[in-house]
Chain A
Amino acid sequence: MPDWLVKILGTVYTRMPAGLRPFAKRVFVQGLLRLQALTSRRSLCKGMRIEFIDFEIADLEPFEFLGPRPVDVRVDAQFSTISPGTERAVLCGMPGARRPFPYTPGYSTAGVVTEAGAKSGFAIGDRVAGRMSHSSSGLLTPASMFRVPDGVDMLEASYIELGIICLQGIRKSGIRPGERVAVMGQGLIGQMATRLARLAGADPLIAVASSRRRASSAVGPGRADEFVSLADDPGALARIEADVVIEAVGSSLAIAQATTAARRGGRVILLGSSRDLGRNLDWHNIVQERDITLIGAHIGALPTYDASPGRWTYAQEGRLFLAQLASGLVHVADMTSWKAAPADCNRVYEVVAEGGREHVGIVFDWTR
């Protein structure tokens, strides 16, 4: 839409009585979508999706979307997994995550193809996973779509984006067999990173968290050897002396703690997306003086093409995650502590806004 038209529409909208605006906006969006459907000869589809309608308020809302282009597929969702850090940050309006409301959260979904574009390479009934919001139905595009291998549970496949986030972090960490690895934070990303670090050869593997509330799911076969609760033993950090520390909390305090937990010359992997401000950190003493290497590992920096040993592409990481699920090397279903009906999203996001309480993986079940 040209800027001049956006400007005119904006002016009209802001001069309209406030009570009329939601109705006018709905009529405009619906009209525009129908016009696009007509001009592009695409179908008009309907579904239900979760929306953040204001700070700390989620609701299930009907929505409309255009049918697939020749390269896309339309998917009926079976499961979608909450990305707790990112979604909480937007829901609560944290630094770096300010978005206008209503906002459509979610980007990790598994479902079944119900309409396949002629050039998509998929057929109706195919099982797929990829970047789709928390919605009953929607589109998957080639850049963010994976075929789910036979034998992989669809609930596990819905962890696809979280798996990619963790795999690229593990890859950048360069963990070598027998290295002492600590994972700061035992939320969903922390626990997934712990399991993938084990696969990469971490030994011993130490799970570190602010409290013991997620201790039982963090420790056990294929997981961490030891659990450190900072609430019980604040001085434990300096004794960890890890070769590699993976920061999976997303706060400036956790980054500082991660550097403390690393041995002199160790590596700290910044897997969490920091959502607060840390102005008064003594970087000289916590990083430079101790020869710590800080490695940024955010999914946004993943290349689309031109992979290298330390930086695989998004597509490569996604295929690997699903292959690991298929081979049984990785399990994530047991991390699902809450399989919620989408209609319960309001209650679910109240818990997410509070920090998730004892929950690890929260998944919406769209088959219910």
Chain B
Amino acid sequence: MNHMRIAVIGAGGIAQRNAIEAVKSGAATVTGVFDVNLQAARDLAAKVQAKTYASFEEAIANSDVDAVMLSTPHHLHRPQTLAAAAAGKHVLVEKPIANTLDDANAMIDACEHAGVAMAVNYSFRYLPKIQKARELVQAGALGDITGIQVIQHQFKDLGYWMGARSTSPDDWRSSREKSGGGFLIMSVCHNVDYLYFITGLKGTRVYSEYATLGSPGNVEDIISVTSRWGDKAVGTISASSILRGADAAEERIWGTKGTLLINDKGLSLYSTRPIDGKKPGRVHHYAKFEESSWTADWIRAFVEAVRLGKRPEVSAQEGWENLAFIESAYRSMEVGAPISVPTYVR
């Protein structure tokens, strides 16, 4: 398959971006759009020169659809994936893969049984600075990784939780039943994904404390996670969506031979080794990167994987492993003890 025909499900802000990037990728076309808000679906369909579907069922019943792109609330990922797989459609699902590992297992089983591919939209890993960070780590710039720190703080206004920012308003984000959780599963899951990607390590044990201190609903808006990565490195995540006036977004990875800092300015590398043509023992900044379209890259990679019959780059397994970290973090506070992160076994 050189060209994938995609039905876009959901027409909110993220869906709009995904649909436009799908067209830009050159590897896919959008056949149609479905959203519970028909006007939002019509508006997006006009932008990508596609039709609208009256229902999700109509979208997946179409023989001219190869795949669905699910940019819908988390709790819909499972039923929509199961239905799409049963209809023989490949699945591009927005992150997180699902709300629970049980849901994720059912989705993976359904796709395997139907012989269709699934990928999860952790496309930030296609950002040039993330790709560069991985390249530096793989080149040995940091030696053996010993520490990982994530700082992610911002302010999400009341309207965010009430659905005011979306073209298809819904307050699902403030419901744990529908969203699976708060700031960790909604936003910080990206950081977890690309740190897995950069370091090649995975969380093995976690303990968290979290609370809902300034937002409506029953999902956390502040969380602190202490974790073990692989069998050596120690990690911390400090994140909240209630911090006013001093937004912070930074990851720091360090090892026996150096340190890598990732933030909105780019990358900063200190290494005791001469890596990437840089002198050792100094801090080097990587501020300029090529303009890129990371979502389009993700879609291109998915189409190529399907064509070659390979596992997609951001595979269902990686989505599952990401969720395993998140679910374990949530559960650790509930049981008041560190939790071992389950490993993916099929």
Q: B-contacting residues of A (Cβ < 8 Å)?
A: 55-56, 92-98, 275-277, 279
Residue pair A92, B158 in contact (C-beta under 8 Å)? yes
Residue pair B155, A275 in contact (C-beta under 8 Å)? no
Instruction: State whether the Cβ of B177 lies closer than 8 Å to any Cβ in chain A.
Output: no
Residue pair B158, A96 in contact (C-beta under 8 Å)? no
Residue pair B170, A276 in contact (C-beta under 8 Å)? no
Minimal beta-carbon separation of B221 from chain A (angstroms): 14
Interface SS of chain B: helix, strand, loop or mixed?
Answer: loop
Residue pair A276, B162 in contact (C-beta under 8 Å)? yes
Residue pair B169, A92 in contact (C-beta under 8 Å)? no
> For residues 150 through 187 of chain B, which have their beta carbon under 8 Å from a beta carbon of chain A?
155, 157-160, 162-165, 169-171
Q: How far is the CA of A47 from the CA of B159 in the complex (A)?
A: 31
Q: How far is the CA of A276 from the CA of B171 in the complex (A)?
A: 8
Minimal beta-carbon separation of B199 from chain A (angstroms): 32
Which of chain A's residues have a CB closer than 8 A to the CB of B170?
A: 277, 279
Which of chain A's residues have a CB closer than 8 A to the CB of B169?
A: 95, 277
Q: A276-B171, A277-B170, A279-B170 are in contact. Are A93 and B158 (CB under 8 A)?
A: yes
Which of chain B's residues have a CB closer than 8 A to the CB of A93?
A: 157-160, 164-165
Residue pair B157, A55 in contact (C-beta under 8 Å)? yes
Q: How far is the CA of A260 from the CA of B165 in the complex (A)?
A: 31
Which of chain A's residues have a CB closer than 8 A to the CB of B155?
A: 55
Residue pair B157, A275 in contact (C-beta under 8 Å)? no
Q: How far is the CA of A94 from the CA of B169 in the complex (A)?
A: 11
Q: A-contacting residues of B (Cβ < 8 Å)?
A: 155, 157-160, 162-165, 169-171
Partner of A277, one of B158, B160, B165, B171: B171
Residue pair A94, B171 in contact (C-beta under 8 Å)? no
Q: How far is the CA of A55 from the CA of B163 in the complex (A)?
A: 15
Residue pair B159, A277 in contact (C-beta under 8 Å)? no
Q: How far is the CA of A94 from the CA of B163 in the complex (A)?
A: 8
Partner of B164, one of A56, A98, A279: A98
Residue pair B159, A98 in contact (C-beta under 8 Å)? yes
Residue pair A55, B158 in contact (C-beta under 8 Å)? yes
Residue pair B164, A97 in contact (C-beta under 8 Å)? yes
Q: Which residue of B lies closest to A276 (CB)?
A: B162
Q: How far is the CA of A276 from the CA of B173 in the complex (A)?
A: 13
Q: How far is the CA of A34 from the CA of B32 in the complex (A)?
A: 51
Which of chain A's residues have a CB closer than 8 A to the CB of B160?
A: 93
Partner of B162, one of A55, A56, A94, A279: A94
Residue pair B159, A92 in contact (C-beta under 8 Å)? yes
Q: How far is the CA of A56 from the CA of B245 in the complex (A)?
A: 12
Minimal beta-carbon separation of B9 from chain A (angstroms): 17
Q: Which residue of A lies closest to B171 (CB)?
A: A277
Which of chain A's residues have a CB closer than 8 A to the CB of B163?
A: 95, 277
Please, could you name 14 A-B residue pairs with CB atoms under 8 Å apart, sorted by A? A93-B160, A93-B165, A94-B158, A94-B159, A94-B164, A95-B163, A95-B164, A95-B169, A97-B159, A97-B164, A98-B164, A98-B165, A277-B163, A277-B170
Q: How far is the CA of A277 from the CA of B174 in the complex (A)?
A: 12
Which of chain A's residues have a CB closer than 8 A to the CB of B159?
A: 92-95, 97-98
Q: How far is the CA of A51 from the CA of B7 in the complex (A)?
A: 44
Which of chain B's residues have a CB closer than 8 A to the CB of A277?
A: 162-163, 169-171
Minimal beta-carbon separation of B198 from chain A (angstroms): 28
Residue pair A95, B162 in contact (C-beta under 8 Å)? yes
9 nearest A-B pairs in the assembled complex, by CB-CB distance: A93-B159, A92-B158, A95-B164, A55-B157, A93-B157, A277-B169, A94-B159, A95-B169, A95-B162
